[in-house]
């Protein structure tokens, strides 16, 4: 089965062709970073307009790069949520038009589930059926979740962030430090050679237990990044010359990055002990971070569990994970969603 995927949930315009739910034949990602960086973050109106303008050429490029004809496609998949409403709509409209013109099914998928599925791309040697239950850390600009994948299309949310997502905490910190957007890669670059123990930023723990967080999630598996962010804000106010001192900036960036990584790793370590999953999985844009990747590898090795992690290009938003998930779900006989409405707050079920 050959599936075309389209992903426009935030500020990356992407199309990809995936065969048999795992083999990536082509993957095209066009980043809008240049358009948003002067504003210090994603501007939804700019993002959706850029998606509409770029999509026809990006989709055509993905099909051409795959070396197939339009008629070879068996289905179109697109992200319906969570994400920015107007950006999701741009992808959905394009996917609907294509499915109508080519007379093939349209499947609309969950962005978080697609991120999780990214670890199975180009991995015909492994399958969720053999490896589940898998404990997943999914960390992106909009979400930080601990999820137990019990099977394909079967998830149990163990924990979530009670305030900022990990990526958001990095993006906001980079802005405070004058490092630009997107903040995750900027902090990682600035942190090179810095001392991660230079500032002892807080690693959220007790504050979550004492918060008025009203979900039915166990606070022991939840995250909070507002404390570390506020702590950085005070540090920057106290050291106004920081931006002009590259060595000190490296130390502070490394310390902040370490605090975010430790907070994530602490929760994962705790869940590993409690749930004893068969494997550990990592997904989402923040998983491009080398320090976090190394930390997760260390945790998995200590627990003697295999680590499932996608190459960096499949961690950030991409359409290959959307096409792959669609192909895998259809092959497994799952009921496919063809709902045409976008769901900016679509939860993972």
Give me the residues that bind ligand KG4 (CB under 6 A), please: 10, 140-142, 167, 170-171, 182-185, 188, 284-286, 288-289, 316-317
Binding partner of 188, given ligand KG4, Zn ion, none, CB within 5-8 angstroms per partner class: ligand KG4
Q: Which is nearer to ligand KG4, 2 or 292 (CB)?
A: 292
- Angle in degrees, 0-180, between the axes of helices 183-191 and 290-302, rounded to the nearest 10: 80
Complex with ligand KG4: residue 108 or 316, whichever CB lies closer: 316
Which CB sits closer to ligand KG4, 114 or 208? 114
- Residue 82, contacted partner among ligand KG4, Zn ion, none, CB below 5-8 A by kind: none
- Kindly state the smallest distance separating residue 160's Cβ from Zn ion, in Å: 15
CA atoms within 13 A on the CB side of 102: 19
Q: Which is nearer to ligand KG4, 171 or 251 (CB)?
A: 171
- Given ligand KG4, Zn ion, none, residue 326, with its beta carbon under 5 to 8 Å by kind, binds none
Q: Which is nearer to ligand KG4, 113 or 317 (CB)?
A: 317
- As a whole number of angstroms, the distance between CA 258 and CA 228 comes to 11
Q: Which residue has the tokens 């930080």?
A: 144
Taking the complex as a whole, the smallest distance from the CB of residue 108 to Zn ion amounts, in Å, to 16
Q: Which partner from the list ligand KG4, Zn ion, none does 194 bind, CB cut-off 5 to 8 Å by kind?
A: none
Beta carbon nearer to ligand KG4, 188 or 251: 188
C-alpha distances in angstroms, 39 versus 61, 174, 181, 228, 230?
29, 13, 9, 23, 22
Task: Report the alpha-carbon distance of residue 265 to residue 33 in Å, rounded.
Answer: 28
CB of 184 to ligand KG4, least distance (A): 2
Q: What is the DSSP letter of 254?
A: H
Cis, bond preceding 182 (omega within 30 deg of 0) = yes
Query: What tokens were used for 86?
Result: 């107007």
User: Smallest distance from the beta carbon of 296 to Zn ion, in angstroms?
Assistant: 18
Beta pairing class for 2-7 and 75-81: parallel
Classify 210 as helix, strand or coil: coil
Query: Measured from the CB of residue 186, what is the shortest distance to ligand KG4 in angstroms?
Result: 8
Least distance (Å) between residue 39 CB and ligand KG4: 15
Closest CB to ligand KG4 among 192 and 302? 192
Nearest to 156 by CA among 132, 178, 172: 132
- Reading phi first (left if > 0) and then psi (alpha if -120 to 50, else beta), residue 124 is in alpha
- Among Zn ion, ligand KG4, none, residue 184 binds (CB under 5-8 Å by kind): ligand KG4
Measured from the CB of residue 290, what is the shortest distance to ligand KG4 in angstroms?
7
Alpha helices, H only, 223-277 = 226-238, 246-275
Contact residues for Zn ion, defined by CB under 5 A: 140, 317
């Amino acid at each position: 089965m050959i599936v075309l995927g389209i992903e426009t949930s935030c500020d990356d315009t992407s199309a990809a062709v995936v065969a048999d739910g795992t083999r990536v034949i082509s993957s095209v990602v066009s980043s809008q970073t240049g358009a948003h960086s002067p504003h210090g973050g994603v501007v939804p109106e700019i993002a959706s307009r850029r998606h509409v303008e770029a999509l026809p050429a990006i989709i055509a490029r993905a099909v051409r790069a795959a070396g197939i004809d339009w008629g070879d496609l068996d289905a179109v998949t697109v992200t319906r949520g969570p994400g920015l409403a107007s950006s999701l709509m741009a992808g959905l409209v394009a996917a609907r038009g294509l499915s109508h013109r080519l007379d093939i099914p349209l499947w609309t998928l969950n962005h978080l589930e697609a991120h999780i599925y990214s670890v199975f791309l180009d991995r015909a040697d492994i399958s969720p059926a053999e490896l589940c239950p898998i404990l997943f850390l999914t960390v992106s600009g909009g979400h930080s979740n601990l999820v137990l994948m019990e099977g394909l299309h079967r998830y149990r949310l163990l924990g979530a962030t009670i305030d900022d997502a990990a990526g958001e905490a990095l993006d906001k910190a980079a802005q405070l430090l004058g490092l630009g957007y997107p903040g995750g890669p900027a902090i990682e670059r600035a942190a090179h050679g810095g001392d991660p123990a230079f500032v002892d930023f807080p690693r959220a723990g007790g504050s979550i237990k004492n918060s008025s967080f009203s979900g039915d999630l166990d606070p022991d598996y939840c995250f909070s990044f507002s404390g570390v962010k506020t702590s950085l804000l005070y540090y920057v106010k106290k050291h106004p010359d920081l931006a002009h001192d590259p060595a000190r900036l490296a130390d502070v960036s490394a310390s902040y990055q370490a605090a975010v990584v430790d907070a994530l790793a602490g929760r994962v370590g705790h869940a590993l002990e409690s749930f004893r999953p068969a494997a550990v999985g990592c997904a989402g844009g923040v998983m491009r971070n080398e320090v976090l990747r190394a930390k997760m590898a260390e945790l998995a090795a200590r627990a003697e569990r295999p680590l499932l992690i996608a190459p960096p290009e499949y961690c950030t938003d991409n359409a290959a994970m959307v096409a792959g998930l669609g192909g895998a779900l259809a092959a497994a006989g799952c009921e496919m969603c063809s709902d045409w409405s976008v769901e900016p707050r679509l939860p993972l079920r």
